[in-house]
Chains A and B, each alone.
Chain A
Amino acid sequence: MGIFISLILATIRQAAPILITAIGGAFSEITGVVNIGLEGMMLMGAFSAAIGSYYTGNPYIGIISGMVAGGLMAAVHAVLSIKYKGNQTVSGVAINLFASGFTVFMLRVLFNQSGNTPSVPKTPQLFGMSIIVYIIYILAFVAIFVVYRTVIGLRMRAVGEHPLAADTVGINVDKIRYIGVILSGMFAGLGGAYLSIGALAQFTKNMSAGRGFIALAAVVFGKWNPKGILLASLLFGFADGLQTLAQQYVKAIPPQFIQMLPYVLTLLALAGVVGKAVAPSASGKPYDKNEA
């Protein structure tokens, strides 16, 4: 029984950073911009949250720093993708590379270390979980409401499905896309902040460890639909939680195989849902009024 409850709690906790990053990714994708850079935005968020918390002693400022850093990275991606109509996949890859280099570079410059920051003030806990977890779930439900029940959500989806039609009825396609992409970075930054000042009290090198990519898979698996994304994130959180628990209790299977679990599951999930999953039709395509 005790194991069962700790598995449920672990699922909720581990799903949180994936969920919020995936909701962000969906915001970017439903407005028509592919965001491979979620992993890097998450990593920058984790780093900045730790730095913000370290220098101010206030973990709430850490949360905000994480979101701002993620948003700034996303802004770069947005300008390249929307204004200069660059290759969105390539730009995302560059952002991931930048984040992995920049965070280690700054660790050396600021702390003369290459692996981690000193310990930083952590966010308060509520019923055994960081308050960031609660913020994340509340924000996720607000996001679901916004996309499905409000005018701005309708516009976002319109811009991703048929930018020309949206433009014709007077929606500012570029502006909506900037909002979608920058929000995705801020959400990924929050997911990162959970890792460094929610779950732990320090930033460690490459601590996002593929969660940004798993979030990307959750978007596809959840079929670009917030409710689906919620379920997909919980599934990955479950795999992650199971993995952590199994490492404590199952000694017969080498831990490396247990650690593979979330990735194998993602792969199987993607292979299983294909055919039913259809991306927003304008996703990945730059929109040019003059060419349309």
Chain B
Amino acid sequence: MKNKLKELAIPFLSVLIALVIGGGVIIYLGENPLTAYGYLFGGAFGSDRGIARTMLEATPMIFSGLAIMFAYQAGMFNIGAQGQVVMGGLAAAAVGAFVNNHFINNVYVVVLIAAIAGFLWAAIAGYLKAKLGVHEVISTIMLNYIASNFEQYCLNYPLKEGGPLGPTPQTPPVMEISRLPLLLPDSRVYLNVGFIIALVAVVVVWFIFNKTVFGYEIKAVGFNFTAAENAGINAKKILLLTLGISGLLAGLAGAERVLGGVGQYTYRQGLMAEYGFDGIAVALLGKNTPIGVLISAFLFATLRVGGRAMQFNTSIPSQIIIIIQAVIILLIASENMLSDLLKKFKKKEAKA
């Protein structure tokens, strides 16, 4: 119990310190941090619509956070979630907007196809890692850039609305049958079934790691590759599969963005933002557990949605949120520093 508390204390402390540092910056810019943070949390939680927006914003982060944690369990750092999000989204847009066959462009089939696209894109890095020993951090970074160029190619040529000479680099909207049903059809917030799928994914991932042999094998490989191999686990296959599944989860994030209506059901420039990279922050803050991912995705979504409200009402640029996120990750990277701090604090308390 005490250990559990300590595990929670470090993420909590990281967030708190990062908010205090953010507050310092806000004061420096001549605003009142309490008012600014008031707008931030008010914007994210103050109304039904705000809450729905935060849930919508959290959805891709849950997927990409799960993606990062999934690979992390096997000892791999999947920096390539962003590319996998893009590939999933492109697959969803290509099928949803261009394939006129009701067996194939049925929303759940499209989601599946997007998941497979994410799987395959990540599996390239998995293959390079398993067969040739290429470090996944570098290969997935390169795959990100290749994916982002491929995205620009698709939006400007084969998938472009109105053909290559069309007015803007975006796809036509996906067909009705390929759209994820909305949870609040009357609101202007496009909260959709993707959110439910994300929650299901949290449960499935939790189940895999806590109740299945496969999950146990992944953790064994992550803990000690050689020992796992000696114990008869096909460690290379596990690496490939794990990275593939990680990409599958990221691909779902891309599918939700296109099929869920956030961008009026089209894939347009900038739609995928930085969701793959957000996943890194989410997984790290969530201590690489599914429940942790869920909670931290909500936290980051709150910051994101609230950050916009804050920018609207004050002179603080919303990028302060990225700085706060970075500080949180830095603090988590140096958890020894925080536990030193906690210890010192306790000693002082004991003396007093």
Partner-B contacts on A (CB < 8 A):
36, 76, 79-80, 83-91, 93-95, 97-98, 100-102, 104-105, 108-109, 114, 210, 213, 216-217, 220, 254, 256-257, 259-260, 263-264, 266-267, 270-271, 274-275
Chain A to chain B contacts (Cβ below 8 Å), 7 pairs:
A91-B329, A91-B330, A97-B326, A101-B319, A220-B135, A267-B146, A271-B134
Contact with A along B243-280 (1 / 0, CB 8 A): 00000000000000000000000000000000001001
Interchain nearest-CB distance for A81 vs B (Å): 9
Given A90-B332, A109-B317, A256-B149, 14 other A-B contacts at CB below 8 A?
Answer: A86-B335, A89-B77, A90-B284, A94-B333, A95-B330, A98-B326, A101-B323, A105-B319, A213-B142, A256-B152, A260-B145, A263-B145, A267-B143, A271-B132
Q: Please pick, from B79, B149, B326, the residue contacting A260 in the complex, using a CB distance under 8 A.
A: B149
| Chain B, residue nearest A212 (CB) | B141
Given that A213-B141, A216-B138, A267-B143 are known contacts, is A102 also in contact with B332, CB under 8 Å in the complex? no
Q: Please pick, from A86, A104, A210, A254, the residue contacting B334 in the complex, using a CB distance under 8 A.
A: A86
B223 within 8 A of A: no
| Chain B, residue nearest A88 (CB) | B333
Instruction: Say whether A86 contacts B153, CB under 8 Å.
Output: no
Cα separation A79 to B141 with both chains bound (whole Å): 25
Interchain nearest-CB distance for A289 vs B (Å): 15
Residues of A with C-beta under 8 A to B336? 84-86
Cα separation A76 to B330 with both chains bound (whole Å): 9
Residues of B with C-beta under 8 A to A270? 128, 134-135, 138-139, 142
Residues of A with C-beta under 8 A to B320? 101, 105
Residues of B with C-beta under 8 A to A85? 336
| Chain B, residue nearest A254 (CB) | B153
Instruction: Say whether B317 contacts A105, CB under 8 Å.
Output: yes
Instruction: Say whether B330 contacts A256, CB under 8 Å.
Output: no
Residues of B with C-beta under 8 A to A97? 277, 280-281, 322, 325-326, 329
Cα separation A213 to B143 with both chains bound (whole Å): 12
Given that A90-B333, A94-B333, A271-B128 are known contacts, is A254 also in contact with B157, CB under 8 Å in the complex? yes
Residues of B with C-beta under 8 A to A76? 330
| Chain A, residue nearest B315 (CB) | A109
Cα separation A76 to B332 with both chains bound (whole Å): 14
Q: Please pick, from A93, A256, A275, the residue contacting B329 in the complex, using a CB distance under 8 A.
A: A93
Instruction: Say whether B139 contacts A105, CB under 8 Å.
Output: no
Interchain nearest-CB distance for B276 vs A (Å): 12
Interface of chain B, main secondary structure: helix
- Best-surrounded residue of A88, A94, A213 (most CB of chain B within 10 A): A94
Cα separation A187 to B150 with both chains bound (whole Å): 31
| Chain A, residue nearest B164 (CB) | A254
Instruction: Say whether B319 contacts A94, CB under 8 Å.
Output: no
Q: Please pick, from A94, A95, A213, the residue contacting B138 in the complex, using a CB distance under 8 A.
A: A213
Cα separation A161 to B332 with both chains bound (whole Å): 27
B337 within 8 A of A: yes
| Chain A, residue nearest B280 (CB) | A93
B29 within 8 A of A: yes
| Segment 280-319 of B: residues with Cβ below 8 Å from A | 280-281, 284, 317, 319
Instruction: Say whether B149 contacts A257, CB under 8 Å.
Output: yes
- Best-surrounded residue of B132, B317, B332 (most CB of chain A within 10 A): B317
Cα separation A109 to B320 with both chains bound (whole Å): 11
B208 within 8 A of A: no
B156 within 8 A of A: yes
B182 within 8 A of A: no
Cα separation A267 to B80 with both chains bound (whole Å): 13
Instruction: Say whether A84 contacts B146, CB under 8 Å.
Output: no
Instruction: Say whether A91 contacts B325, CB under 8 Å.
Output: no
Contact with A along B86-100 (1 / 0, CB 8 A): 000000000000000
Residues of B with C-beta under 8 A to A216? 138, 141
Q: Please pick, from A89, A266, A275, the residue contacting B137 in the complex, using a CB distance under 8 A.
A: A89
